[in-house]
């Protein structure tokens, strides 16, 4: 990949992050959070996308993000009130922006009508309310007039967290009180405020990348009081002027407490290299040149910290969280210079938030991580083999070798856990697509929907996340399309017009649980049953419990939607969802209360690389049964086992009869089934909640095994899901419970009406249905 393409890939990765931040910020604002930092973050996200897009000459993206940015800037400046209507517009604009980014990345086309309509709406928003003659009304620099003004900071939004303000005020106060005595470093100043001279001469590249000098200068104004002078001396005569060149420069005197050079540089961060920038502090002996800026930043930073510590008297507490005395002593000072303190507090808060939000990360090729996981898997196996060999040698458990091996085992496990954690990602990456989905479906169905998301930080393996997206999308569509009522129906039922769809993720006993719930009408059980009967899925006289009726929706060929709508019900139903969840080693459950809504609960393994298994022996072979499918194990009594038909057996477990399947025979390891009383039965639950008792000869124990593919070097084997390598170095096969339960696989669907030999041989058959046959 050539360097530019590589940078472009990174740009688009960052765009995705910015888009997520944008949407998250807008949603927080919609939720009533008026923290100015959120508005800033939203603005920064769009601005970053615009900046990058400019560098790559992505015209459409630049145009749209520019309009968007303009509107956001007015909101940031308080010229536009961010009411609910505005936020809805902004959220839709964020969707369009996402479309633009994706179109730019994948070479697709954006819905032009939608995009331009949105751009017009944004422009209307900006011009309608923000007619304050702001600098950002045009693309070029030649049509705006920049008046050197001192910006009045008193109208800055009040800081939400006044303890930070107090801390900052205490810093200022410390300076005023005893700054001269305490601060003995060469860079100390004897006044609380300091003045910076900033000279800023944009070059043509700055404008080409869609940056605006005006915005940058205004940004500068947020740091403190600023006086800007235009330097038009470079302007040539009109006939010599190239309209696309840059001739103007500005010099600004920035005055305010606690301003650091790094903060100033941050303002110009995006245009570095595209402008001549000179930042000098008043009174500083040698003018700080652009290149040597790092040293100066270091000095100032340290001094600020020292002052903060001394002023607050309790240094550690001051750094971590401001204490009450510090606040009290600072209050008087804070009132003396309220505006400045507030502004400084905002600044500090922004910086703190930035630090918090961006922990140190690196981007790593997924392949490398996977290779590492493979290697660690082999390490685990090797370690287990070594332990077994040592045990075979007859060494005492207390011997130093055995103890060393125990330590090794601990370390190996820790390495395995840590490596798995690298692949783990918060479910947020899937969840963040859903607000948009919900908005679109709500618009299509004319329903009012609020999406509540919870536990987005819950982490799970990347492969699980990738494969969660489709089933979750489908279920959310269903929840809105089928679950929620129209606003009128809801009002009639005495519910709020706005329906709520809740999406929550949490960790529970080594698995991730995801719940999708709605407060809609719940499952219409008589209708579900009627449909199932009509479609021949169950026999009319079948007597089903509520739970079993609810589970009918998971059967193949079942769709409750009376009309096939655009949103859901296009042939793929909940059976597909169930199957994809099960292919991940997960389970899905539904609980529903008429009139109050339904809840789908997914339970999934945290990773697909390892599996908790029950190691069993069958006909001399060692097999692994996935623990998630096993409900219980039991020793069959002769009186509980009954013959049914010519060659099938069932076993009575607490008054229900489930088919008894000999694993050895169904896998073809043996032709004669030994008496069930000599073995152990595993009661398992397969697809659709159907149960069976699997006969094995003996249980060796439970173990976490690393899943190895059989297909890589061979091909799929019926009845076998995958392979693993046990402690003795031999390969053991992992049972495919569902395949084993269905001895003669055939098309599911109508099989329940006539179960063959009492066998539970169809997809999605609830337990009691099997007894009908």
Partner 1 sequence: MEDIVQRKTGDRIELISFRIGDQEFCVDIMAVREIRGWTPATSLPQAPSFVKGVINLRGAVLPIVDLAARMGMAVTEPSERHVIIVTRICDQQVGLLVDAVCDIITVETGSIQQTPDLACDVVKTFVKGLLAMEGRMISLISLDNVLPTLEIEASGAETASILAA
**Binding footprint of partner 1 on the chain (CB under 8 A):** 374, 377-378, 381, 621-622, 667-669, 708-710, 712-715, 717-720, 723, 725, 729-733
What is the nearest approach in angstroms of partner 1 to the Cβ of residue 726? 9
DSSP 708: B
The residue among 41 and 623 lying less far from partner 1, judged by its C-beta, is 623
CB of 748 to partner 1, least distance (A): 21
Q: How far is CA 488 from CA 272, 484, 498, 499, 719, in A?
A: 56, 11, 10, 11, 51
In the complex, least distance from residue 114 CB atom to partner 1, rounded to whole angstroms: 45
Residue 614 corresponds to which tokens in the numbers above?
């029950």
In 476-595 the beta strands, taken as DSSP E runs, fall at 499-508, 511-518, 587-593
CA separation for the pair 299, 688 (Å, rounded): 67
Q: How far is the CB of 102 from partner 1 (least distance, A)?
A: 33
Residue whose CB is less far from partner 1, 240 or 713: 713
| Closer residue to partner 1, CB minimum distance, 350 or 380 | 380
Q: How far is the CB of 715 from partner 1 (least distance, A)?
A: 6
Closest approach, Cβ 719 to partner 1, in A, equals 6
Report the residue number, 39 or 725, with the smaller CB distance to partner 1: 725
How many residues belong to the chain? 773
Neighbours of 321 (CB within 10 A): 11
Would you say 299 or 697 has its CB closer to partner 1?
Answer: 697
Shortest distance in whole angstroms from residue 747 CB to partner 1: 18
Distances (CA, A) of 563 to 190, 524, 569: 78, 16, 8
Beta strand 499-508 pairing with 459-461: unpaired
- Taking the complex as a whole, the smallest distance from the CB of residue 409 to partner 1 amounts, in Å, to 18
Please, which residue, 641 or 725, has the CB nearer to partner 1? 725
Q: 338-357 vs 162-182: helix axis angle to the nearest 10? A: 110
Nearer to partner 1, 259 or 740 (CB): 740
Measuring CA to CA, which residue among 271, 269, 280 is closest to residue 199? 280
Structure tokens at 735: 């049972």
Give a three-class secondary structure readout of 132-190: CCCHHHCCCCCCCCCCCCCCCHHHCCCCCCHHHHHHHHHHHHHHHHHHHHHCCCCCCCC
- Residue 248, judged by CB atoms within 10 A of its CB (0-12, 13-18, 19+), counts as middle
Shortest approach of partner 1 to residue 665 CB, angstroms? 10
Would you say 421 or 731 has its CB closer to partner 1? 731
For tokens 């009411």, name the residue. Answer: 83
Least distance from C-beta 613 to partner 1, angstroms? 15
Q: Which is nearer to partner 1, 60 or 619 (CB)?
A: 619
Report the 10 Å Cβ neighbour count for 333.
Answer: 23
The CB-of-420 to partner 1 minimum distance in angstroms stands at: 17
Closer of 619 and 753 to partner 1 (Cβ): 619
Phi and psi at 259, nearest 5°, equal -80, 130
Please, what is the minimum distance in Å from the beta carbon of residue 611 to partner 1? 15
CA gap 758, 675 in Å, rounded? 20
Least Å distance, CB 486 to partner 1, is 50
Of the pair 183, 737, the CB lying nearest partner 1 is at 737
| Residue 8 vs 665, nearer CB to partner 1 | 665
Instruction: Identify the DSSP state of 713.
Output: T
Contacts of 326 (CB under 8 A, 6+ apart): 166, 167, 170, 311, 312, 313, 314, 317, 318
Is 204 buried (19+), middle (13-18) or exposed (0-12) by CB count in 10 A? middle
Nearer to partner 1, 206 or 732 (CB): 732
- Please, what is the Cα angle at 515 between 514 and 521, to 5 degrees? 160
Take residue 117 and report the two structure tokens written for it. Answer: 């309509």
Residue 374 beta carbon to partner 1: minimum distance, rounded to whole angstroms: 7
Question: Is the CB of residue 607 less than 8 Å from the CB of residue 659?
Answer: no
- Using CA atoms, how far residue 531 sits from 261, 358, 552, 555, in Å, is 71, 53, 10, 11
- In the DSSP assignment, the letter for residue 754 is S
d(CA 44, CA 353): 13
Integer Cα distance of 271 and 211 in angstroms: 8
Nearer to partner 1 by Cβ, of 531 and 739: the residue is 739
């Amino acid at each position: 990949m050539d360097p530019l393409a590589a940078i472009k890939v990174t740009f688009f990765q960052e765009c995705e992050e910015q888009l997520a931040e944008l949407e998250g910020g807008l949603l927080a604002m919609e939720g009533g959070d008026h923290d100015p930092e959120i508005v800033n973050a939203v603005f920064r996200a769009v601005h970053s996308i615009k900046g990058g897009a400019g560098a790559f000459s992505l015209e459409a993206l630049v145009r749209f993000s520019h309009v968007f940015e303009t509107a956001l800037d007015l909101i940031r400046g308080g010229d536009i009130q961010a009411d609910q209507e505005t936020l809805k517009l902004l959220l839709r604009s964020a969707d369009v922006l996402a479309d633009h980014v994706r179109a730019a990345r994948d070479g697709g086309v954006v819905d032009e009508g939608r995009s331009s309509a949105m751009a017009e709406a944004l422009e209307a928003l900006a011009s309608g309310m923000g007619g304050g003659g702001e600098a950002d009304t045009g693309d070029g620099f030649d049509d705006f007039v920049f008046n050197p003004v001192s910006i009045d900071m008193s109208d800055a939004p009040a800081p939400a967290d006044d303890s930070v303000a107090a801390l900052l005020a205490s810093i200022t106060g410390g300076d005023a009180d005893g700054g001269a005595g305490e601060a003995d470093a060469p860079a100390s100043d004897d006044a609380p405020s300091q003045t910076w001279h900033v000279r800023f001469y944009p070059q043509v590249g700055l404008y080409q990348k869609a940056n605006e000098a005006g915005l940058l200068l205004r940004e500068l104004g947020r740091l403190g009081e600023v006086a800007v002078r235009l330097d038009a001396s470079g302007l040539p005569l009109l006939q010599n002027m190239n309209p696309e060149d840059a001739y103007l420069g500005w010099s600004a005197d920035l005055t305010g407490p606690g301003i650091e050079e790094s903060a100033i540089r941050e303002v110009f961060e995006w245009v570095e290299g595209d402008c001549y920038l000179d930042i000098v502090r008043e009174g500083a002996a040698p003018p700080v040149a652009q290149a040597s800026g790092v040293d100066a930043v270091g000095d100032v930073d340290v001094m600020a910290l020292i002052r903060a510590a001394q002023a607050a008297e309790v240094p550690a507490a001051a750094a971590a969280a401001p204490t009450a005395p510090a606040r009290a002593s600072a209050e008087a000072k804070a009132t003396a210079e309220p505006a400045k303190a507030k502004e400084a507090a905002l600044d500090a808060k922004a910086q703190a938030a930035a630090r918090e939000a961006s922990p140190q990360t690196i981007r790593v090729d997924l392949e490398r991580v996977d290779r590492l996981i493979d290697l660690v898997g082999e390490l685990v196996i090797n370690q287990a083999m070594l332990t077994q060999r040592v045990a075979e040698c007859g060494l005492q458990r207390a011997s130093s070798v055995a103890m060393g091996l125990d330590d090794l085992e601990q370390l190996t496990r820790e390495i395995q856990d840590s490596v798995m954690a690298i692949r783990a990602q918060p479910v947020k990456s899937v969840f963040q697509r859903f607000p948009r989905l919900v908005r679109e479906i709500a618009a299509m169905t004319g329903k009012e929907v609020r999406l509540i998301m919870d536990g987005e930080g819950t982490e799970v393996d990347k492969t699980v996340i990738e494969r969660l997206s489709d089933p979750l999308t489908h279920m959310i569509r269903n929840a809105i399309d089928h679950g929620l009522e129209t606003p009128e129906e809801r009002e009639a039922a005495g519910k709020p017009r706005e329906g709520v769809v809740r999406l929550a993720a949490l960790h529970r006993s080594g698995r991730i649980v995801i719940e999708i719930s709605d407060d809609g009408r719940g499952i219409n059980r008589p209708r579900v049953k009627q449909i199932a009967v009509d479609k021949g899925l169950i026999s009319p006289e079948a007597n089903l419990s509520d739970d079993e009726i609810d589970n009918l929706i998971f059967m193949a060929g079942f769709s409750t939607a009376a009309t096939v709508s655009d949103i859901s019900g296009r042939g793929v139903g909940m059976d597909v969802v169930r199957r994809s969840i099960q292919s991940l080693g997960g389970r899905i459950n539904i609980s529903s209360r008429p009139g109050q809504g339904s809840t789908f609960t997914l339970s999934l393994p945290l990773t697909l690389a390892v599996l908790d298994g029950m190691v069993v022996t069958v006909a001399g072979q060692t097999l692994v049964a996935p623990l998630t499918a096993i409900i219980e194990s039991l020793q069959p009594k002769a009186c509980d086992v009954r013959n049914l038909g010519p060659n099938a057996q069932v076993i009575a477990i607490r008054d229900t009869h489930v088919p008894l399947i000999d694993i050895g025979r169904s896998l073809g390891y043996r032709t004669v089934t030994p008496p069930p009383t000599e073995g152990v039965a595993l009661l398992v639950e397969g697809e659709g909640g159907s149960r069976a008792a699997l006969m094995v000869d003996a249980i060796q124990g439970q173990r976490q095994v690393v899943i190895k593919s059989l297909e890589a070097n061979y091909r799929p084997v019926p009845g076998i899901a995958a392979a693993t390598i046990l402690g003795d170095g031999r390969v053991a096969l992992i049972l495919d419970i569902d395949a084993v339960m269905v001895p003669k696989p055939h098309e599911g669907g109508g099989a329940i009406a006539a179960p063959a030999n009492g066998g539970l041989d169809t997809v999605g058959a609830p337990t009691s249905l099997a007894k009908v046959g």
